[in-house]
Amino acid sequence: MDGVACARWLTQLHSSTVDAWLHQEVARRMADRLTWIKTKPAHWAHWMPLTGSIASQKYVQAVYADAVCHVIESSAERLHQAKKILSPTWWQRAFKPPIHFSLAPTQPVHMLWSNMTLHHTHRPQLMMKSWSDAVDVGGFVMFSCLGPDTLKQLRAVYEANHWPAPTHAFTDMHDWGDMLLQSGFTEPIMDMERIQLTYANAHDLWVDLRTLGRNLNPKRFQGLQGKKWREKLDSQLFQSEATHSNDSRVTMTFEVIYGHAFKSNPKIRVAPKSTVTLENMKSMLGQK
């Protein structure tokens, strides 16, 4: 993945307060999974809602109505924008738990929520380490992201024309599980589903895809393509066996991965001489 493009996308201000439909739908489905977990967090972190889904806020609050929320964004500008969108009104502040806005959690949280953000970073293990640092021992992370079969029909058209890939590579859910373990989480549970969307015309497809993210592949086209190239692509989308459906619509697959894992006590590597920090010792002893 192109690290510069990743950083630009994850710090870019969003011109619209309307969520991408797919992100909002995934957030709703992920919130349903919260009912499977017996832990009831008193504090939870909403990780980069401008990228994931603003609607996530109401979905999680419906499940954890009494929990304090900590909204975490990637830059001061995005944090200001999130604050304008998510800050409760004066009458809501009188009846609902507060919402704190910061660039990093000001205290350990019992649940960290990250909807559709992980596949946008070229350093996912660093992001997971940030999650681990933010979550208290016994707390958990809940996340979603796109998987390898996403836009496989579009990739097939590009491959047939020997064009650079239209997307960066998406990581398999088993690899995400391994990275969670390496980041200090335990007992990761991963599952996935494939959502197929159909489009009546190419214009609607491109409008939808622009709301989902960007092509962060370092080998993507390095410049803009011409009008004739675009016409060829649109035409082949409707002629390709990979994308053409029975009702003359374009079909696109989105593989959505869901994962959650609990924060474990830090493990000390056994050696002839080992050093343990005071904070790690307190965590291992279950003290605060």
Q: pLDDT, tens digit, for every residue of 133-152?
A: 999 999 999 999 999 999 99
Condensed to tens digits (0 to 9), the pLDDT of residues 219-263 reads 999 888 899 999 999 988 888 766 666 667 889 999 999 999 999
Percent of the chain whose predicted confidence (pLDDT) is above 90: 68
How many whole angstroms separate alpha carbon 78 and alpha carbon 10?
A: 9
Condensed to tens digits (0 to 9), the pLDDT of residues 170-200 reads 999 999 999 999 999 999 999 999 999 999 8
Determine which of 82-91, 97-106, 206-215, 268-277 has the lowest per-residue pLDDT on average.
Answer: 268-277
CATH of the domain at 99: 3.40.50.150
pLDDT at 75: 92
pLDDT at 127: 95
Hey, is 133 helix, strand or coil? helix
Length in residues, the chain: 288
Domain total of the chain: 1
Condensed to tens digits (0 to 9), the pLDDT of residues 73-93 reads 999 999 999 999 998 877 777
- Residues contacting residue 19 through CB under 8 Å, at least 6 positions apart: 27, 53, 54, 55
pLDDT bracket for residue 273 (50, 70, 90): low
How many whole angstroms separate alpha carbon 72 and alpha carbon 51?
A: 11
How many whole angstroms separate alpha carbon 45 and alpha carbon 247?
A: 43
Q: Residue 141 is part of which domain span? A: 3-284
| Buried-exposed string 246-259: b where 16+ CB fall within 10 A, e elsewhere | eeebbbbbbbbbbb
How many whole angstroms separate alpha carbon 245 and alpha carbon 199?
A: 10
Q: In what helix (H) or strand (E) does residue 149 lie, and over which residues does it extend?
A: none
Distance of CA 40 to the CA centre of its chain: 22
Higher pLDDT, 273 or 156: 156
pLDDT at 90: 73
Please enumerate, as own/partner, the contacts of 127-134 that have beta carbons within 8 Å and a separation of 24 or more. Answer: 128/179, 128/180, 128/182, 128/183, 128/185, 129/183, 129/184, 130/104, 131/47, 131/183, 131/185, 132/183, 132/184, 132/185, 132/263, 134/45, 134/72, 134/104, 134/105, 134/108, 134/109
Hey, what are 26's tokens? Answer: 């995934």
Beta bridge partners of 140: 111, 262
- Residues contacting residue 45 through CB under 8 Å, at least 6 positions apart: 69, 70, 71, 72, 105, 109, 111, 112, 113, 134, 135
Q: With a threshold of 0.85, does the pTM exceed it?
A: yes
- Residues contacting residue 103 through CB under 8 Å, at least 6 positions apart: 72, 73, 74, 75, 76, 79
pLDDT at 91: 72
Condensed to tens digits (0 to 9), the pLDDT of residues 18-63 reads 688 999 999 999 999 999 898 899 999 999 999 999 999 999 999 9
